[in-house]
Amino acid sequence: MAAQTIYGMKAHTENKNYKAVILIALVVAAFIGSHLLRQKLISKPPPTGDEHADYPQRIVALAPSLVEVVYQLKLDDRLVGISRFCKYPEDVTTKPVVGGYLDLDFEALLKLEPDCVILLEEQNLLAGRLHELGIKTLVIDHASTSGILSSIEVIGTNFGKGSVADDIMAGLQERIKIIAERAQKTPNNPRVLVCISRDTSSPQPDRIIAAGNAGVHQEYITMAGGTNAYQGTIAFPSISREKLLQINPDIIIDLISADTLRDIGRTQLLKQWSSYPELKAVQHQKIIFLHENKHMIPGPRFVDTLEAFADAIHPPQS
């Protein structure tokens, strides 16, 4: 659910209240969406004999974010296969690998004899092939925060972990509520540029790909009380030096890998941005580096990232 931004010279209070309505709608939509998906996807009644006996017992999950949901729901004992990109939690690296994001090794998959494969909507083409092989699938939306929230309940319900999902959802919603209340109390909406990727080997930030007008990063900015500095129509725009200077954000959130931070170092990364002294974010020392793996994966830990955005946009009062 993409959040919108109010333009013009209207009062900050009106702007904040509008954002609060969006946030409440986001959470409500998550519950409604999960309920509808649950009604659509569940094909078996609740178990009546042994606990969980009527639910799938051999699960393959084909994306890191899906694996994280599986682990949070305490279903890891039923997880028999993963994609090569799944690295968290550490225990998952002991699981058999069945290919990549789209290049699925069907032979390796069939040897695992799964009774359900969980995949993202972006991998939906694989679902048809899996159905031809007689394998059930569960297709999940992780392209939005509401989709991520819904997925926890959907996966939990479909695998007999509904009560665990309810507990997780309650905790996440409480944290989101706190962020929303904090955003409402702040008097301004700083303009934020989220750098999703860039050439970190250059003396200055080069080949920048930013968060555009869609996706979870756009939602993070708005939910945390900011405004996306990029106001174009492209989902993931390439930002040139000229465009960067034109946008001139108040805050830059730079998503980098842990390896990049280790190999190049925070000082050098900051020096690269400092090569553009005209930027407000540079002048006010508002370059924020987020490097942990969880910030790169739009999964059940997204509220950690949302909290990091909130701290960057409106730092806690000491």
Burial class (CB in 10 A: 0-12, 13-18, 19+), 90: exposed
Domain presence at residue 139: no
Calculate what percentage of the chain has a pLDDT beyond 90.
77
Counting the structural domains of the chain, the total is 1
CB 66 within 8 A of CB 119: yes
Q: Beta strands 79-82 and 251-255: pairing type? A: unpaired
Summarised one tens digit per residue, pLDDT across range 40-56 is 443 333 443 445 568 99
| Dist CA 133 CA 239 (whole Å) | 44
In a domain, 241, yes or no: yes
Cβ pair 201, 260 in contact under 8 A:
no
- Characterise 134 by phi-psi region: left (phi > 0), alpha (psi -120 to 50), beta (else): left
pLDDT at 28: 45
Residue 94 lies in a domain: no
- pLDDT, one tens digit per residue, over 74-110 is 999 999 999 999 999 999 999 999 999 889 999 999 9
Supply the pLDDT for residue 169: 96
Q: Can you list the alpha helix ranges (DSSP code H) found in the chain?
A: 12-41, 64-72, 106-111, 124-132, 145-158, 162-185, 216-223, 241-247, 258-264, 266-274, 280-283, 302-313
pLDDT number for residue 188: 82
Residues 155 and 138: their CA atoms lie apart, in Å, by 8
Domain for residue 257, yes or no?
yes
Tokens for 136, please give them.
Answer: 């059930």
Which residues face 289 on adjacent strands?
254
| pLDDT of 22 above 90 | no
187 band by pLDDT with thresholds 50, 70 and 90:
confident
Instruction: Give the mean pLDDT of 172-193.
Output: 92
Q: What is the pLDDT of residue 283?
A: 97
Q: Per the domain annotation, does 137 fall within a domain?
A: no
Tally of CB atoms within 10 A around 223 = 25
Whether 246 is in a domain gets the answer yes
The mean per-residue pLDDT over the stretch 305-316 comes to 95
Residue 255 lies in a domain: yes
DSSP letter string over 216-240? Answer: HHHHHHHHTT-EES--SS-SS-EE-
Residue 148, token pair as written in the block: 């991520």
pLDDT single digits (tens) 126-176: 999 999 999 999 999 999 999 999 999 999 999 999 999 999 999 999 999
Q: Give domain status of residue 184, yes or no.
A: yes
pTM beyond cutoff 0.85: no
pLDDT at 6: 21
43 vs 280, residue with greater confidence: 280
State the pLDDT at residue 214.
Answer: 85
Could you report the per-residue pLDDT of 197-234, keeping only the tens digit for each? Answer: 999 999 999 999 999 988 899 999 999 999 999 999 99
The rounded distance, in Å, linking the Cα atoms of 153 and 144 is: 15
Per residue in 29-41, pLDDT (tens digit) is 544 454 444 434 4
Q: Which domain holds residue 270?
A: 12-26+175-313
Q: Which pLDDT score is estimated for 119?
A: 96
pLDDT at 53: 62
Here the CATH number for the domain that contains residue 193 is: 3.40.50.1980
The three-point CA angle 15-195-187 to 5° equals 25
**What's residue 18's pLDDT?**
52
Nearest-angstrom CA–CA distance, 48 and 273: 61
- Cα separation, 291 vs 269, whole angstroms: 12
pLDDT at residue 20, as a whole number: 43
